[in-house]
Amino acid sequence: MTDLQFKNKLLRDDAKYHVSILSFAGIKLIVPQSEILSIESIYELESNEDNDNNYIGVIYKQGIKLPVYCFSKSMDIYKSLPEDRFQCVVLQHENIMFSLLCYEISNAVISEIEFHNLPVCMNNKRIPLTHLCLYKDAENINKLGMVTSAVCLNEYINKLKRHSMKL
Amino acid sequence: MKTDNNDSGVAAWLLQVDRLVNVAIGQFELIHIIDEPDYMGIPQAPDYCKDVVLWNNNIVPVMSLASWLTSCLQVDNTGVVAIVVYEDEQGKHKFGGIKLSSPPVQAKVKNSQQCQLTDDFDKWRKVSLSSFKSKTGDIVPIIDVSKLFSHVLLS
């Protein structure tokens, strides 16, 4: 997806950028609001009885069993449930659907956002972000943000799974 | 760095990047110092470049050369970051940050001080233009800032 396509994905008819902010372990990920299918309570989480221990549990959405992933600050996979996760966000893009455990999920409408590619010197192709961004918050203060998408997170999770299978 | 005919030396900045290691950059490459910036940690980024800062509306990647040298995440930096300017491969001006152990110091570097990097400094060959011996006899690599902030350290 080009930068312009990504930007357009966030733009709505009001010419503002509609994003969701996923907070956990002290980090905040900005994702397109259109990729949030639903937000579920942690009480919907059922334990993982599969052999795949990359996800922490499952939830059922539209009759489909979805894996629920839980990440640390460095976005390594947690294998046991931390105390500070209260919500499951279900992300969807085309046929990709999965859930992440978050501390908090909020929506924001941003009037100005500037996307930047990841700096060349740090882009080791493992970073689960599409862009970094500069935006103005509700108080018109410049902020730094980390932008990702359902596709990007799904690819990242698949890489982690392949890596853990090799171990 | 260019010297004049009588070898009175050329101005440079000495950056202490580790308790034991100084590096040098050109006088005009250092443009600002930030004290204890608000870092934003980038998940899964390399340990030596895991943070960015917001400076003058620019997203600036911050290098910890001490982490790079020791391949260790926890290093003894003071919270001072040198903001440097460089040209990327497309010739665009970009900004980078370098974590320091102490505030930068100006120095004059003479041609007569030039020396070779020893085997202890092997890692520096990837990102140095040259090197010289300081007044205390320490070898000081002169950093190619463009290379430092390119993909070179990733390979």
> How would residue A105 be classed by pLDDT, with cut points 50, 70 and 90?
very high
Residue A50's pLDDT is 72
Number of domains in chain A: 1
> How would residue A154 be classed by pLDDT, with cut points 50, 70 and 90?
very high
How many Cβ atoms sit within 10 Å of the Cβ of residue B61? 23
Cα–Cα distance, B61 to B94 (Å, whole number)? 10
Cα–Cα distance, B42 to B61 (Å, whole number)? 10
Contact B51, A119 (CB under 8 A): no
Query: What residues of B are in contact with residue A22 (Cβ under 8 Å)?
Result: none
pLDDT over 90, % of chain A: 62
pLDDT, tens digit, for every residue of A122-138? 999 999 999 999 998 87
Considering only CB atoms, A121 lies closest to which of B41, B53, B149, namely: B149
Question: Cβ A121–B151 below 8 Å, yes or no?
Answer: yes
Residue B75's pLDDT is 61
Contact A6, A130 (CB under 8 A): yes
Question: Cβ B44–A73 below 8 Å, yes or no?
Answer: no
Residue B69's pLDDT is 86
Question: Cβ B40–A73 below 8 Å, yes or no?
Answer: no
Chain A interface mutation, best of B34, B55, B59, highest count of A Cβ atoms under 10 Å: B59
Residue A51's pLDDT is 67
What's the gap in Å between the CA of A63 and the closest CA on chain B?
33
Residue with the bigger pLDDT between B125 and B20: it is B125
Q: The tokens 């030039």 sit on which residue?
A: B114
Average pLDDT rounded to a whole number, residues A143-158: 95
Considering only CB atoms, B57 lies closest to which of A27, A134, A146, namely: A134
Residue with the bigger pLDDT between B120 and B108: it is B108
CATH assignment at residue A136: 2.40.50.180
How many residues are listed for chain A in this entry? 167
What secondary structure, in 3-state letters, does chain A show? CCHHHHHHHHECCCCCEEEEEEEECCEEEEEEHHHEEEEEEHHHCEECCCCCCCCCEEEEECCEEEEEECECCCCCECCCCCCCCCEEEEEEECCEEEEEEECEEEEEEECCEEEECCCHHHCCCCCCCCEEEEEECCCCCEEEEEECCHHHHHHHHHHHHHHHHHC
Contact B99, B60 (CB under 8 A): no
Residue A10's pLDDT is 82
Query: What residues of A are in contact with residue B40 (Cβ under 8 Å)?
Result: 144, 146
Nearest residue in chain B measured CA to CA from A136: B57
Cα–Cα distance, A98 to A104 (Å, whole number)? 17
Nearest residue in chain A measured CA to CA from B48: A122
Average pLDDT rounded to a whole number, residues A108-128: 93
Give residue B38's identity as a one-letter amino acid code: D
Instruction: Go through the domains of chain B in sequence order and give each one's CATH number.
Output: 10-154 (2.40.50.180)
> How would residue B64 be classed by pLDDT, with cut points 50, 70 and 90?
very high
What ipTM was predicted for this assembly? Answer: 0.90
Residue A137's pLDDT is 83
By mean pLDDT, which of A31-40, A129-138, B72-81, B85-94 is the weakest?
A: B72-81
| Residue A150, domain extent | 3-166
Contact B96, B63 (CB under 8 A): yes
Residue B79's pLDDT is 86
Token duo for residue A43: 């009480």
Query: What residues of B are in contact with residue A116 (Cβ under 8 Å)?
Result: 59
Give B73's DSSP letter.
S
Among candidate residues B81, B106, B103, B84, the one with its CA nearest the CA of residue B95: B84
What's the gap in Å between the CA of B4 and the closest CA on chain A?
34
What's the gap in Å between the CA of B43 and the closest CA on chain A?
4
Considering only CB atoms, B149 lies closest to which of A120, A132, A144, namely: A120
Query: What residues of A are in contact with residue B149 (Cβ under 8 Å)?
Result: 119-121
Give residue B32's identity as a one-letter amino acid code: H
Residue A82's pLDDT is 87
